[in-house]
Structure 1
Amino acid sequence: MPKRYTEEELIARIFAPIAGPAALGLKDDAALIEASKEPTVATVDMLVAGVHFFADDSPALIAKKALRVNLSDLAAKGATPIGFLLSLALPADWTNDWLRAFASGLSEDAQVYAAPLIGGDTTATPGPLTISIAALGRTPRFVPRTGARPGDAIYVSGTIGDAALGLALRRDPSLAARLSPASRAHLLDRYLLPRPRLDLAPMLRAHANAAMDVSDGLAGDLAKLCRASGVGAVVEATSIPLSDAASELIALSPELFESALTGGDDYEILCTASAWAARPLDVVRIGEIASVAGPPIFLGPDGEPIAFAKPSFSHF
């Protein structure tokens, strides 16, 4: 095996070149962030090979996914990124080439989303590759989960279920083979590469009473929002936006509709609002907040409640 970087070389050659000014060249034990009148928002997500991604996925895409799921949390709070900290536990088979590709993907997204690397840690692990990113942002108005009010409309951005269905295709190649090439590519891409909705942060600050990103499935995440706000919800399942690719796959396997609503990894925005000045075109009303606290009710095409076997993804 070719000689691998030492920890000092790894930091100096791989990560210091992509770090922002607050990282101080990654030569210190801490970053230095300038003070601001706006509150700072912090979030952290950990990704583990075999749980959140496949170990043989492209290292650049793994890096992008790790950063983007954190930026999605910032977006849901109405925040603008200011930087992130990376903790990386590398398994025994890592190589310099893998690490360079990982850093390349990370650098690309750090520039695209104006979220520079400002510090972190590296270590070895006898277990699978593990990535933890803590992202920092600022916002003049933090949008909580706890602000939903009876009578609020419930909205989601984009389309729901694509990533969960993309995972189903990864697990079942025979199912993937039944789809059109364009639909197959769309769903697989949505699983590999989430798109943090930072473009919606200003809209959330201006209009949303409550918001969160959809990471563990629409049904389960709406239940979390309802619990936090002490309310209930009624959702018309036919109003939930699906992509053409998701609709094609569900037509082939109708049981996957439940996976689309409960599987997770959408990283779209779920929010409630009482009024809008101008609602973005890809934010769709799917239901209403109810005054009686309890789990959200999803109504099927026949007007009857849908019972989910497992409302959301859970690690435990």
Structure 2
Amino acid sequence: MSKESTLIAALRALAPHPAARGLQDDCAVLDFGGETLVLTHDMMVEGVHWLAGQDMADVAWKLVATNLSDLAAKGADPIGVLLGFTLGDDDTRFLTGLNEALTAFNVPLLGGDTVSANGPRTLGLTALGRATSRSVPDRRGASPGDTLWLTGPVGAAMLGFEALRDRTSADSTAFRRPTPRLPEGRALAPLVTAMMDVSDGLLIDATRMAQASNVTFAITSASVPFPPSLPPERQDDAMRWGDDYELLFTLPSGIEPPISAHCIGTANAPTASPVIVDGAVLHGSLGYTHD
């Protein structure tokens, strides 16, 4: 078990409120008056989530987009964001990218906090949303017999990272400026039995949703969408890499999604392995973890 998993397991004892969803989800879901609020917080660290020397306009965009992706997985409309910011020598480019992201996704900056510190910079963002469906999607709702779906390809962010790292002419947009699937999440929210975004890797995130739902997902690799430029021998890498921010969701058998999506498998009764691919049990690291 990773340090992250160990800490989250310990934190569950401190989070008995129903809005915390047992800390098995990416968001808190809080009934407030006549509304249901959806709240999430993500952090990014220099050298871990972005490359040293990377354009801070792209970092600002990604900070906003990754948090809004959590809201998308709940079918929520963004209300606003709060920024936690470590000051740099010149923050002009960050402000440019932040303005571009806030404008593109039509979400206001509501406040936050700034600090000075030595060492790698750490940035945080809290995103607040309003649920659009009476039943807010959860990781825990999949049942045996459900079908497993993915909104788009995995592996584009991996290729984009490598292009940026190696300074090639290949397109790095998917890594630098992901797009949260907000419209897709709103369309899916009333129908899905479970849903989350793919941030740490398809296989590890599918494992998390399977464990939360007490099922085993049987994935067919030939049905998983990949970028056309991805070499076939790297498909396994792409399923473990992460940062793609597509939506992974389940539907009752016979129900088709109202959006473009790919059926990549089924939910079965639970076994010793939460996820199997092409009938085989998985080995090695399934995706990104904070060790």
Q: What's the TM-score, normalizing by structure 2? A: 0.83
Residue 157 of structure 2, aligned match among 150, 160, 163: 163
* 1:298 matched residue in structure 2: 277
- Aligned counterpart in structure 1 of residue 190 of structure 2, from 184, 188, 206: 206
Query: Match for residue 80 of structure 2?
Result: 83
3-state SS of paired residue (1:105):
helix
1:202: Cα distance to partner? 2.1
Taking the aligned partners of 1:189 and 1:47, their CA distance within structure 2 comes to 18
Q: Deviations over 1:95-124 (max 9, x none)?
A: 2xxx22211211122122121100100000
Give structure 1 regions of 4+ aligned residues with deviation exceeding 4 angstroms: none
The answer on 1:148 being equivalent to 2:132 is no
**Contact 1:82-1:114 within 8 A present in 2 as well:** no
Q: RMSD between aligned alpha carbons?
A: 1.7
Structure with higher helix content: 1
Greater gyration radius: 1
Q: CA deviation at 1:308?
A: 4.0
Contact 1:90–1:128, Cα closer than 8 Å, also in 2: no
Partner of 1:21: none
Instruction: Tell me which residue corresponds to 2:255.
Output: 276
Question: Which runs of structure 2 are paired with 1:1-316 in the superposition (5 Å)?
Answer: 37-91=34-88, 94-95=89-90, 99-139=91-131, 140=133, 141-172=135-166, 184-185=170-171, 188-246=172-230, 250-251=231-232, 254=233, 256-274=234-252, 275-276=254-255, 278-281=257-260, 283-293=261-271, 294-299=273-278, 304-305=279-280, 307-316=282-291
Unaligned runs of 5+ in 1: 1-34
Is the contact made by 2:275 and 2:282 (CA closer than 8 Å) also made in structure 1? no
Query: CA offset at residue 259 of structure 1?
Result: 1.7
Instruction: Report the secondary structure of 1:243's partner residue.
Output: coil
The CA distance in 2 between the partners of 1:292 and 1:314, in whole Å, is 23
Separation (CA, whole Å) in 2 of partners of 1:171 and 1:57: 9
Q: Give 2:213's aligned amino acid.
A: S
Report if the CA contact (8 A) 2:70-2:197 is conserved: yes
Equivalent residues, number: 256
CA displacement, residues 175-196 of structure 1 (integer Å, 9 cap, x when unaligned)? x5xxxx5xx21xx111111110
1:215, distance to aligned residue in structure 2 (A) = 0.3
| Letter in structure 2 aligned against 1:225 | M
Residues 188, 258 of structure 2: 8 Å contact kept: no
Deviation at 1:278, TM superposition (A): 4.9
| Alpha-carbon distance in 2 for matches of 1:51, 1:125 | 17
Percentage identity across aligned positions?
A: 36
The CA distance in 1 between the partners of 2:53 and 2:250, in whole Å, is 38
1:135 aligns to what SS in structure 2?
strand
Q: Please report how far the alpha carbon of residue 130 of structure 1 lies from its aligned counterpart in structure 2 after TM superposition.
A: 1.2
TM, length-normalised to structure 1: 0.77
Structure-2 separation of matches of 1:306 and 1:209:
24
User: For 1:213-238, what per-residue CA distance to the aligned partner results, in whole angstroms no more than 9, with x for missing partners?
Assistant: 00000000000000111111100001
Instruction: Tell me the CA shift for residue 277 of structure 1.
Output: 5.8
**Residues 229, 161 of structure 1: alpha-carbon distance in 2 compared, 3 angstrom cutoff:** same
Q: Is the Cα–Cα contact under 8 Å of residues 77 and 204 in structure 1 kept in the other structure?
A: no
Per-residue CA deviations over 1:130-158 (Å, capped at 9, x if unaligned) read 11000000113310000011111000011
- Listed as ranges, the gaps of 5+ residues in structure 2 are 1-31
1:55, 1:268 → 2: CA distance? 26
